[in-house]
Amino acid sequence: MNHTDIQGMFPRFNEITDEALRTNAIETVIEAIQVGGWDASSVYEIPLTLERSNTKVTLIEHINSVVEACMAGYDAVKEFKNRQGLRFDKNIVVAGALLHDVGKFLEYTVEDGSYVTSPKGKIMRHPLSGALLASKHGIPDEIVQLIAMHSHEGEHAKHTAESAFVRDMDLLVYDATVYGTKYN
* Residue 182 pLDDT greater than 70, yes or no: no
List the domain range (segments joined by +) for residue 28: 3-181
Eight-state DSSP code of residue 13: G
- b/e 67-98 (16+ beta carbons within 10 angstroms → b): bebbbeebeebbeebeeeeeebbbbbbbbbbb
Eight-state DSSP code of residue 117: E
- What's the structural domain count of the chain? 1
* Residue 55 pLDDT greater than 90, yes or no: no
Please choose, from the candidates 107, 93, 94, the residue with its C-alpha nearest in 3D space to the C-alpha of residue 48.
Answer: 107
Residue 178's pLDDT band, with cuts at 50, 70 and 90, is confident
Of 177 and 171, more confident: 171
- What pLDDT score does 184 carry? 45
Averaged confidence pLDDT in the chain? 93
pLDDT tens-digit readout, 69-128: 999 999 999 999 889 998 899 999 999 999 999 999 999 999 999 999 999 999 999 999
- What pLDDT score does 140 carry? 98
- What pLDDT score does 128 carry? 96
- What pLDDT score does 52 carry? 74
Residue 152's pLDDT band, with cuts at 50, 70 and 90, is confident
Q: What is the mean pLDDT of residues 130-150?
A: 97
- What pLDDT score does 181 carry? 55
- What pLDDT score does 154 carry? 73
- What pLDDT score does 149 carry? 92
- What pLDDT score does 157 carry? 86
Eight-state DSSP code of residue 43: G
Q: What is the mean pLDDT of residues 136-148?
A: 97
> What H or E segment, with its residue span, contains residue 109?
strand 108-111
Of 184 and 26, more confident: 26
* Direct distance between the N- and C-terminal alpha carbons of the chain, in angstroms, rounded to an integer: 36
